[in-house]
């Protein structure tokens, strides 16, 4: 198990032909703001993205820093 864990590198780009989807994440008091600059839209507390495209998340916060939990749903 540890062998595979050490092979994972969070800073290594994912090998794919698709460009990453850029999303700006802003943590505010009691909510998350997800800004999609390419689509000129923003969502609150819900992040939806295509499964076949890598993500590039840039985070910032107003007030206290919060935890972001990413779950997998079908």
Residue 74 has pLDDT above 60, yes or no: no
C-alpha dihedral (12, 40, 51, 4), degrees to nearest 10 = 20
Q: What is the pLDDT of residues 7-41, one digit of tens each?
A: 777 777 777 888 889 999 988 888 889 999 999 99
How confident is residue 47, by pLDDT bands cut at 50, 70 and 90? confident
Conformational region of residue 40, where left means phi above 0, alpha means psi within -120 to 50, and beta covers everything else: left
Q: In the chain, where are the structural domains located?
A: 2-61
Higher pLDDT, 61 or 3: 61
Residue position matching structure tokens 């910032």: 60
Alpha helix (H) residue ranges in 1-74: 2-7
């Amino acid at each position: 198990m540890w062998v595979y864990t050490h092979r994972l590198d969070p800073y290594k780009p994912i090998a794919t032909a698709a460009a990453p989807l850029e999303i700006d994440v802003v943590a505010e008091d009691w909510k998350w703001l997800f800004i999609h600059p390419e689509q000129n839209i923003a969502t609150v507390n819900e992040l939806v993205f295509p499964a076949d495209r890598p993500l590039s998340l840039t985070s910032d916060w107003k007030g206290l820093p919060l935890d972001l939990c990413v779950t997998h749903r079908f």
